[in-house]
Homo-oligomer: A and B are copies of this chain.
Amino acid sequence: MKIGILAIGDELISGMTQDTNSSFMARELSAEGWQISGILIVGDDGQLIEKGLAHLMGISDAIIVTGGLGPTSDDMTTESIAKAFGLTLYTDEAILSRMKEGFRAFGLPWADTNTKQARFPEGAVIIDNPVGTACGFSLERGGVIIAVIPGVPREVHRMLPEGVVPLLRKTFGETGETRRRRTIKSFGLTEAEVAKRLSDLDIGPGIEIGFYPRFPENHIVVTARGGSEKEVDERLGRIEEGIVERLGKYVFGYDDDTMEGIVASILTKRNMTLAVAESCTGGLITDRITNVPGSSAFLERGVVVYSNRAKTELLGVPPEVIETEGAVSETTALLMATGVRDLAKADVGLAVTGIAGPTGGTEGKPVGTVFIALANDTGSFCRELHFRWDRRRNKEMTAQIALELLRRSLVGIDIHG
């Protein structure tokens, strides 16, 4: 089956907003085994919407339209689609009263312009919006299914899998196929290295593999197809085993896992506590850790010791060490890790110090020089790294490697490799 995507919005064609919905949808729909015939982005312009729709009708079995369902006069998607197919619009009273109730519940004033969002082309089937005001709808024309949903990414992420995909599956017939997808997340290898390690993998029938670099991680997405749950599970299990075997310690998680989430779940399970001392990352490590709900169970404290005085006062790094070896040095990093562990009486102390740039480098310690140290009940360890990105990317890579070293130390992988 071939699917066309039509994204509507002036902000998308002025270049002010990057259209990320279409890429997300293309990924999800491809995983279903469907092909994308084209992605077309047009402004809020009735004529261009109609012409675009006609173009996609000619090359697609289904079209998914996003955007232009807001309450203002700029939003003309519903109207344009009705016009393109010669349909009149009606007001859905049930949806209108539900919208009014929603506004009351949130204490928001009702404006009559909102009524627009309860109007649909005759014969349309409503697609529910679980996270927003504007419902979507679908209709069929000349054998082509047209599904229309709002352009708010948060809404697309719910309405595509919950509303649109089931509809397309139902319309174009279940294939009798069972499908399952698994994302294997790796960190520490380049995309080329991942591909090389997997080059001798026997992929076999019913399996598709995709590589998705997600800086600084590399994700491998495996889709298995087959006639039964058992067959699909077997295929997926076999290929996953082959991938994990080849990528080894570089695999840190699956599907919705995050590096900080993995670390959090191990620390929580073991009733261990963590304290973090950051210099160049400026709080990014604890920011990521505290994105995990329940992180207060293990994160005792963090300190952002940006000044040398803070390193000395809070963590006991002697001024002489900073003077002779430098604030960015192995000795300082190790003293920061043991210092914050002692200060917080935590099981693990994690510390980073470095030069994020763009200035502050010297000949011996250029911009991008970073030391990451870890202290636990078995001792302490430090790793020196050199990056050459911009300030933000240097921070991000430092935080990621710090979390990865913490993960490896917790699961007993050699962290010296």
Interface residues of A (CB under 8 A from B): 10-20, 22-30, 36-43, 48, 51-52, 55, 58-59, 210-212, 221, 276, 278, 280-287, 289-291, 293-296, 299-307, 309-310, 314, 344, 356-360, 391-392, 395
Residue picked from A278, A282, A289, A296, most chain B C-beta under 10 Å: A282
Evaluate contact between A286 and B304: CB separation under 8 angstroms.
yes
- Given A282-B291, A287-B287, A300-B309, 8 other A-B contacts at CB below 8 A? A14-B210, A38-B52, A276-B304, A280-B290, A281-B287, A282-B283, A296-B306, A299-B306
Copies in the complex: 2
Which listed residue (B55, B285, B294) contacts A55, Cβ 8 A? B55
Residues of chain B lying within 8 A (CB to CB) of residue A58: 51
The distance in angstroms between the C-alpha atoms of A286 and B211, with both chains bound, is: 34
Which listed residue (B15, B17, B306) contacts A290, Cβ 8 A? B306
Taking CB as reference atom, which chain B residue is nearest A309? B300
Evaluate contact between B38 and A41: CB separation under 8 angstroms.
yes
Evaluate contact between B304 and A304: CB separation under 8 angstroms.
yes
Residues of chain B lying within 8 A (CB to CB) of residue A27: 14-16
Minimum C-beta distance from A80 to chain B (A): 14
Residues of chain B lying within 8 A (CB to CB) of residue A16: 27, 210-212, 221
Evaluate contact between B306 and A304: CB separation under 8 angstroms.
no
Residues of chain B lying within 8 A (CB to CB) of residue A314: 301, 303, 314
The distance in angstroms between the C-alpha atoms of A14 and B219, with both chains bound, is: 14
Evaluate contact between A22 and B41: CB separation under 8 angstroms.
yes
Residues of chain B lying within 8 A (CB to CB) of residue A221: 16
Evaluate contact between B40 and A51: CB separation under 8 angstroms.
no
The distance in angstroms between the C-alpha atoms of A285 and B284, with both chains bound, is: 9
Minimum C-beta distance from A258 to chain B (A): 12
Taking CB as reference atom, which chain B residue is nearest A282? B290
Residues of chain B lying within 8 A (CB to CB) of residue A52: 38, 55
Which listed residue (B23, B48, B359) contacts A59, Cβ 8 A? B48
Evaluate contact between A23 and B18: CB separation under 8 angstroms.
yes
Residues of chain B lying within 8 A (CB to CB) of residue A301: 303-307, 310, 314
